[in-house]
Amino acid sequence: MMVPALTTPARRLALGALALGMLSATACSAPEADNSGSEESQSGPAPAEVRISPEDGAADVRPDLPVTVETDNGTITDVQVDTAGRKNTGANKTTGTLDDDKTAWTSDWTLTPGTDITVTATAENAEGKTTEVVSEFSTKPAVEGQRLELESNFPTSGQTVGVGMPVIVNFDLPVQNKAQVENSMEVISEEPVQGAWNWFGDQMVAFRPKEYWQPNQDVTVNLRLAGVPASEGVYGIENHQLNFTVGRSQISTIDSGTKRMTVERGGQQIKDFPTSIGKADVRKYTTTSGTHLTMEKYKDLVMDSSTVGVPVDSPEGYKLDVKYAVRFSNSGEFTHAAPWNDQLGEANLSHGCPNLANADAKWFYENTYMGDPLVVTGTDRELEVDNGWGYWQRSWEEWLANSETGEPDDTGEAGTPGSPLSNAE
């Protein structure tokens, strides 16, 4: 699904002069002109001239400046940008945009810092004769301590996830040039949607589609971070590609009023569990209402009240071994088995976690993907957008407004809403 080197991404001849032979006039009549043997007609159109920037032999080239190719007397037919020691494929493939008359080409992506780059450009004149020009240059290295690196990401390659799953990227250094970094990260899905990135602090950014992903499809994320100027003097140093699968659609709902948890798969209800959620006598024991996403799960987990600010030896303290725990927020909320609770479906008695019967908790644990939506209704504590993966708490209009680019990204097309490149100073 990558873009060929000479294909313009969907999100974004003059002939040499021929001298005419001149004939001398006579007092009688001039014979018909015959230029078949002239030097100009034998040589034909002038060859195409090709110019590449950066020029051959250049050193310490800023990696965030574009590579350009221009031609006179012809059209550009091929441009290849190769980085020493790397295959020109996947997230490392440097594609470019060709103008309408095919006389100018500009790279789409930044270059890897501290490497040798070879640009090979080919053009042909009106008669199809080719000219090939090569430029070899080196890029400025990233300074130690100022190299932006990928610290972690969710999901990871090879995972199957739920239809609500965002793409989450954590960096090791703060990012100030957020729009350029957004524009270096390309999301492509088999079923096209609109999506956008939102930042949560300076080191974490999350992508979500306008609506849930269509189920049963593959998604590719090209993190073209190498050479992106993240902050003053800070450059990304490595490209990455993520490949994950969106699985079946499973959406669960917990109703505080009915004290039931229902599970729908493909729009059809398949499970109905009695539950008991937070007793809500104080805020911290109130289950958050809103659209959550399942984040991680544990077959066995120690739940310790001290992690949410309640000492274990206090009247409300606890330290319990629980089974089949599925996290859905960062404020300590899990679905889990609670064999000690004999009022499932009758009363809300927990410290905030939805309690389930052992068999029901086991089923949910075994049948949950990371990123499955779990909706809680009926409590007076609203889920915060940054509490876990509460990203669906923002409307699409709010989410798009919080994107640094302010424009939707079409995942059915190569490219991003803008360019990660900088302007030459």
Which residues are identified as catalytic?
336, 353
Element (H, E) at 117: strand 116-124
Helices and strands, number each (H, E), in the chain: 4, 28
Q: Is 266 exposed, middle or buried (0-12, 13-18, 19+ CB in 10 A)?
A: exposed
Contact of 129 with 41, CB cutoff 8 Å: no
Contact of 388 with 169, CB cutoff 8 Å: no
Q: Residue 393: which of 171, 183, 200 has the closest Cα?
A: 200
Euclidean distance between CA atoms 336 and 305, whole angstroms: 15
Beta-sheet pairing, 234-236 with 229-231: antiparallel
State the amino acid at position 345 in one-letter form: G
Q: Is 322 exposed, middle or buried (0-12, 13-18, 19+ CB in 10 A)?
A: buried
What is the Cα Rg of the chain in Å? 30
Contact of 197 with 222, CB cutoff 8 Å: no
87 phi/psi in degrees, rounded to 5: -75, 140
Joined together, the tokens standing for residue 83 give 């980085």
DSSP-derived secondary structure for 274-329: E-B-B--SSGGGSPPBEEEE--EEEEEEEEEGGGGT--TTSTT--EEEEEEEEE--
How many angstroms separate the Cα of 149 from the Cα of each of 108, 154, 173, 238? 21, 15, 7, 7
Element (H, E) at 401: helix 396-401
State the amino acid at position 79 in one-letter form: V
Which residues does 336 contact at the CB level (< 8 Å), separation at least 6? 301, 303, 322, 323, 324, 325, 326, 353, 354, 355, 356, 361
Q: Residue 276: which of 342, 372, 219, 228 has the closest Cα?
A: 342
Strand, coil or helix: 187: strand
Contact of 311 with 304, CB cutoff 8 Å: no
